Structure 1
Amino acid sequence: MLELFAHPFSSYCQKALTALYENDTPFRLRMLSPENPDNFAELLGHWPFGKFPVLVDDGRPVIEASVIVEYLDVHHPGPARLVPADPEAALKVRFWDRFFDNYVATPQNKFVDDALRPADSRDPLGVERAGAMLDKAYGYLERHMAGRQWAVGENFSLADCAAAPQLFYADWTHPIGDRFPAVTAYRERLNARASFARCIEAARPYRPLFPLGAPDRD
């Protein structure tokens, strides 16, 4: 059976989990937590950087969330194809996957990282710039999502697996609000998608870990 080394509160783990849930792919969750030190020790054996998620398929590690989703599409396909067979459509899906990781997750994580720093080591200018980048990303996505249901084409894809957790946490950190109604509506559709809704529920007990304070919603 596939094994996924992950934590349910991690946005990148949720990307991989959403793909697994989307196709009801059987797997074993190797929970990365202080209560399971052996799992983290084994993770380091596969990937010495200690980053996660890591998928292990019959002893073969597959590293990085986007690669995991593509690997599942190739080696453990289900009824929902998450990367289109058409090369041009696949390029669009991969672009939007990178967009959500680089232009939503990266500035959102700046807020989180800054909150975890000692008070005398905070970086207010960096946080201000991260907020400006998120606003720019929301604006770009607002124009793209007008009249669309999913990020690319008619079907839920890798791009949406990336968007769901990154927009979920970004809105907690730097609210989307009424300024970007198409983005807000897209986020709501993603939250309601059964595969990602499972991620939201699995992560709910860990909300006190959010250093900025999880809002009383979602």
Structure 2
Amino acid sequence: MPLKLYAHPFSSYCQKVLIALYENALPFEWRVVDNAGAMAELAALWPLKRFPVLVDEGRPVVEASIIIEHLQLYHPSPVRLIPEDAREALEVRTLDRFFDNYVSTPQQRLVSNQLRPEADRDPYGVTEARTQLEMAYGWLDGWMANREWAAGQNFSLADCAAAPFLFYADWSHPIDARFANVRAYRQRLLARPSFARAVDEARPYRPLFPLGAPDRD
């Protein structure tokens, strides 16, 4: 039974999983959640109705990071995204949490605020989110000073997270030129074939970006 992925190509968390699948050329059936029928199937698997959800041998697996861990455990492949060494793996997981919590979360606050009726928008929350992103960019710039990938020389789960989250973060709150290492890292991620494929698949949906998609990338 092939893997089935309930996802949407424009979702950053779905792209995170797609990168992992594409890195190892793992075959899967893609169930794009863009209609009522697909959403009903998703809700039956995961009542919280959040994607991505992977179905493997009838078992639903939820949350992007856990899906990638699941793939490595049950579908071992040449590109190992979580190191075998426990200490190295801990660093990868720590960076994965950094990108989820301190890049993606404030970026999504900016998008969510834009989707609200104007009377219900939260200027204070927007300022907080932008401040959080500035702090994250600053820390990451120092971290990436002598690194190719987030956890060192090898592409990992951390980079699967970094790619879509920095991609959309720069659209939402541009990465200033003073964060040259972050900007260079983002460009390396965009050049990675697995992420480049995910970006291309999402191009038709760019008009849906609530803050307005820039004419680049």
Q: TM-score range by the shorter chain?
A: over 0.9
Give the structure 1 partner of residue 17 of structure 2. Answer: 16
- Determine if the alignment matches structure 1 residue 3 to structure 2 residue 1: no
The corresponding residue for 2:181 is 182
Mapping of 1:53-132 within 5 angstroms?
A: 53-132=52-131
TM-score scaled by length of structure 2: 0.98
Instruction: Give the letter aligned to residue 11 of structure 1.
Output: S
CA distance in 2, matches of 1:145, 1:68: 26
Q: 1:154, CA displacement in angstroms? A: 1.1
- C-alpha deviation, 1:93, in angstroms: 0.3
Q: Secondary structure at the match of 2:65?
A: helix
**By how many angstroms is 1:148 displaced?**
0.5
Any idea what the Cα deviations from partners look like across 1:152-193, whole Å, max 9, x if unmatched? Answer: 021100000000000000000000031200000000000100
Runs of 4+ in 1 over 6 A off after TM superposition: none
> Is residue 26 from structure 1 mapped to residue 33 from structure 2 by the alignment?
no
TM-score between both structures, scaled by the size of structure 1: 0.98
Tell me which amino acid in the other structure corresponds to 1:141. Answer: L
Within 2, Cα distance between the matches of 1:77 and 1:20?
A: 11
**Separation in structure 2 between the aligned mates of residue 189 and residue 59 of structure 1, nearest angstrom:** 36
Q: 1:216: which partner in 2? A: 215
CA distance in 2: counterparts of 1:133 and 1:106, whole angstroms: 9
Deviations 1:45-89 (A, max 9, x none): 110000000000010011000000010011111110000000000
Unaligned 5+ segments in structure 2 are none
Q: Where does residue 149 of structure 2 map in the other structure?
A: 150
Q: Alpha-carbon deviation of 1:147?
A: 1.1
Q: 1:206 & 1:178 partners in 2: Cα distance?
A: 28
Q: How many equivalent residue pairs?
A: 216
**Alpha-carbon distance in structure 2 between the residues aligned to 1:205 and 1:71:** 30
Q: Distance in 1 between matches of 2:129 and 2:37?
A: 36
Which residue type is aligned with residue 101 of structure 1?
D
RMSD: 0.6
Which secondary structure does the structure 2 equivalent of 1:177 belong to?
coil
Structure 1 residue 207, shift from structure 2 partner: 0.3
Give the equivalent residue in structure 2 for 1:159: 158
How far apart, in 1, do the equivalents of 2:131 and 2:47 lie? 34
Output one character per residue of 1:116-143: Cα deviation in whole Å (capped at 9) or x when no partner: 0111111001100100000000000001
Quick one: distance in 2 between partners of 1:48 and 1:139? 38
Match of 2:51 in 1: 52
SS at match of 1:152: coil
**% identical equivalent positions:** 62
Where 1:49 maps in the other structure, the secondary structure is coil
Q: Distance in 2 between matches of 1:141 and 1:55?
A: 30
CA distance in 1, matches of 2:177, 2:37: 45
SS state of the match for residue 177, structure 2? Answer: helix
Amino acid at match of 1:135: E
C-alpha separation in 2, matches of 1:39 and 1:174: 32
Counterpart residue number, 1:141: 140
